[in-house]
Amino acid sequence: MGTFGYVAPEYASTGMLNERSDVYSFGILIMEMITGRNPVDYSRPPGEVNLVDWLKTMVSSRNADGVLDPKLPERPSSRALKRVFW
């Protein structure tokens, strides 16, 4: 079945799992650690409920610094952020 928020879009639409499904879910875990946000958070404003959609918006506007969890003990370099998001 899968946990809502971690399920790859292909699996959600076809019901078929493959290696990419695991990679997608792992990517969501990494984005959770970087942003400090849950994959789906209904307490957020409409454009920020879904982590993936919010990240797409932030990355397309080149706002990598805006996605970082303010509680991170150490801020990654701009170069490292670019490698993650671009």
17-71 tens-digit pLDDT: 888 888 888 999 999 999 999 999 999 999 999 999 999 999 888 887 788 999 9
Q: Is 40 helix (H, G, I), strand (E, B) or coil?
A: strand
Domain count, the chain: 1
Which residue from 59, 5, 70 is spatially nearest to 34, judged by alpha carbons? 70
Distances 52 to 17, 41, 74, 77, 80 between C-alpha atoms, Å: 19, 11, 23, 22, 19
Determine the Cα–Cα distance for residues 64 and 60; give it in Å rounded to an integer: 9
pLDDT-derived band at 75 (thresholds 50, 70, 90) equals: confident
Which residue from 45, 37, 28 is spatially nearest to 70, judged by alpha carbons? 37
Task: Please tell me the pTM assigned to this model.
Answer: 0.80
- Quick check: 1 pLDDT over 70? no
CB atoms within 10 A of CB 25: 17
In a domain, residue 77? The reply is yes
In a domain, residue 2? The reply is no
**Displacement of CA 64 from its chain's centroid (Å):** 12
In a domain, residue 47? The reply is yes
Q: What is the pLDDT of residue 45?
A: 95
Q: What is the pLDDT of residue 11?
A: 82
In a domain, residue 15? The reply is yes
Q: What is the pLDDT of residue 2?
A: 66
